[in-house]
A and B are shown apart, each in its own frame.
Chain A
């Protein structure tokens, strides 16, 4: 079983749609959680960190459920520019090691 699992998609949605991505992790020693965005095989860039209380950044909302070892990302009012691959990332322990999910591809259509 992979340490971080995501539905690879692709998710094809119209502009303005709301889309949700899910991610599960298997290592209970995981300390911190992130969503990164990767455009067309370019370098990943941090979209947002994920906190237990849930957090929001504009149209993006991230949630963490430690008991279920589950992370989610909700994108509201999708834009064409949101088309990308979204990577669920987990930091294992305090050693700085990041474990990446394989990514979920999103395509927003006009």
Chain B
């Protein structure tokens, strides 16, 4: 079945450091790919998405590019802030409900 594999956390970074969270997927068909973020005490929020190969999703300084050849959708940010501390989930859908990875906890320290 469809699945998503994320790098395990937690990830701890200093403010202004570069972030990469790896995500690879397995899917039958052509999935749409998503990154969701869960801030402490809040529900999941869509961060960005890409619906076809080579699309780049971006939001709030975060970017991810849909790489069909490597079945990857890595999340990147050039300079993280304390406010980016949260759990990040990679997810996919192929006309099915969302399939999530296990999540990666990011802690950014000042």
A binds B: no
Chain A residues within CB distance 8 Å of chain B: none
